[in-house]
Structure 1
Amino acid sequence: MDADRFYLQDSRSNVGSRAMFWKLGGGYTSNLDQAEQFSREKAVKQYECRETDLPWPVDYVRARAEVSVDFQHLKRSEAEAYRNVDGRVYVAYPRGWDGNDLVWRGGSGQTSNLEDAIHPGKSDASVYLAQGFDLWPCGYIAERSRPVVRAATLEHKQALREAGLKLPKIKRQRIRRYTTNCDGCGRFLSELQRYHSCPNCGAGNAP
């Protein structure tokens, strides 16, 4: 286990159920194969700059990964021309997505994890086609799959504890609230109120 390699998660938002990480070369990605890996020191420094960028040990995240397929990278014309030797297909729900990922018919219902998806042979595929499912050649889909992780499966305190990392406390700048007294009645006014008439006596207090 390499406890000194970390992903940085942009924890402000997910795409569907998928956690988003800093992408090698810039931007963000749910594809763990494209996520940049940072040293322990660099990951902590970035967290200190922006505490929504959470460091995650690479091994911890990878152990919880599943396999998904981004529908944006699929073309029906390519799939129909693909030579699938054994005739097996994956069965997808039409207009069903987890973020950008296809939702498949699994052994016990819907799943966005390709490893849990059924893949019937050619003789059984027509049954699912008649039921309105979308069919994709297994080989074509496998070539376009990638590892992702569901944000709900990640527990930050546990991950850092396993890596022996304690993040520094972020010092938040205190917001100073200015007050002044009304020239007419002496009541306290906020910085905003002083530019308007006093809500109590109507006196003007603008500097």
Structure 2
Amino acid sequence: MTLFYLQDSRTDVGDGLMFWALGGGYTTSLDKAELFTQEQACSHRDTDIPWPKDYVDARAHLGVDHQYISLDEARDQLSPECTVVLQIPGHWNGNDIALAKWPIGHTFRFEKAHHLTFEAAEAIGNTPEEAVIWPLSYLEAKARRLVHKRDVNIKEALRGTGIAMAAPWEQRKPWQRPLNCHGCGRFISWDGRFLNDCPNCGANNCS
């Protein structure tokens, strides 16, 4: 049976897709996302997008959310000849930190970060403002699986599932004819008429 993640398309965190979380709320972490059957995934709001789990998992990568890491905690794991990675301060993708990659530049994909020894990292002579040394094992334990919107395509993902996504114009609210104030004739909103009298002439348009 095909299982689905359910994306809340109203919000992303950086490039990371936001999914319904197990137990409530939303998350970018695939390991914390709730799984749905096809019937369940197709019975939610128009803004919720069903993604086949296998499709998303095949395109996921590891990212490190800065909210769940601490230098004070990580320092205990720094020791001679341990393997480290370098964080590039000032670069973010949502909540994810940027890591140095070889031979130049940075990446938000933990698996593509450049590995080096602690001694080699210290010999570079970078200040904490230029690069932050993190034990590889520490960040490895903190990294979580997520997927970036540029790496997935909903038409491709749903091919063969029998699910048809509504066209953008079909997701809009039904059209409502304009409403005129019975006192002065100005346009007023259907919902607003129950909250306030006409701001122009003071007429009550509730009836």
CA contact (8 A) 1:10 1:52 kept: yes
Cα shift at 1:158? 1.4
Structure 2 counterpart of 1:113, which letter? R
Structure 1: gaps spanning 5 or more residues: 184-188, 198-203
Question: Structure 2 length as normaliser, TM-score?
Answer: 0.80
Q: Is contact 2:56-2:147 (8 Å) kept?
A: yes
Name the amino acid aligned to 2:10. R
Alpha-carbon distance, 1:33 to partner: 0.4
Alignment partner, residue 14 of structure 2 = 16
**Which residue number in structure 2 is paired with residue 200 of structure 1?**
none
Q: Say what the alpha-carbon RMSD is for the aligned residues.
A: 2.8
Amino acid at match of 1:112: F
**Alpha-carbon distance in 1 for matches of 2:36, 2:91:** 34
Q: Deviations over 1:43-102 (max 9, x none)?
A: 1001xxx21111111111111111111111111121111266851101111233211111
Q: Which residue of 2 aligns with 1:112?
A: 108
**Counterpart position of 2:152:** 154
Residues 120 and 42 (structure 1), Cα distance of their counterparts in 2 relative to 1, 3 Å cut: same
Q: Secondary structure at the match of 1:174?
A: coil
1:92-107 superposed matches below 5 A: 92-107=87-102
The amino acid of 2:38's aligned partner reads: R
Measured in 2, the distance between the counterparts of 1:166 and 1:90 equals 43
Q: 1:87 to 1:43 in 2, by over 3 A?
A: same
Query: Mind listing any 5+ residue stretches in structure 2 that lack a counterpart?
Result: 190-197
Q: Which residue of 2 aligns with 1:137?
A: 135
Residue 4 of structure 2 aligns with an amino acid whose one-letter code is F
* One-letter identity of the residue aligned with 1:177: P
**Alignment-derived partner of residue 164 in structure 1:** 162
Structure 1 residue 165, shift from structure 2 partner:
2.0
SS of equivalent to 2:41: helix
* Local SS of the residue matching 2:42: helix
- Greater gyration radius: 1
- Is the 8 Å Cα contact of residues 18 and 99 (structure 1) preserved in structure 2? yes
* Partners of 2:42 and 2:88 in 1: CA distance: 41
Change (3 A) 1:128 1:67: farther
Report the CA distance shift for 1:63/1:190 in structure 2 as closer, same or farther (over 3 A).
same
The alpha-carbon distance between structure 1 residues 85 and 67, as it changes in their structure 2 partners (threshold 3 A), is: farther
SS at match of 1:175: coil
Give, in whole Å, the separation in 2 of the partners of 1:146 and 1:163: 28
Query: Contact between 1:91 and 1:128, CA under 8 Å: does it hold in 2?
Result: no
- Secondary structure at the aligned position of 1:45 is classed as coil
Measured against aligned partners, the alpha-carbon deviations of 1:135-186 in whole angstroms (never above 9, x if no partner) come to 1001111111110111122211111114332246658422122358999xxx
1:14 shift after superposition: 1.1
Partner Cα distance (1:85, 1:99) in 2? 33
Normalised by the size of structure 1, how large is the TM-score?
A: 0.80
Partner SS, residue 33 of structure 1: helix
After TM superposition, what 4+ stretches of structure 1 lie above 6 angstroms from structure 2?
Answer: 180-183, 204-207
CA spacing shift, 1:84–1:147, aligned 2, 3 Å = farther
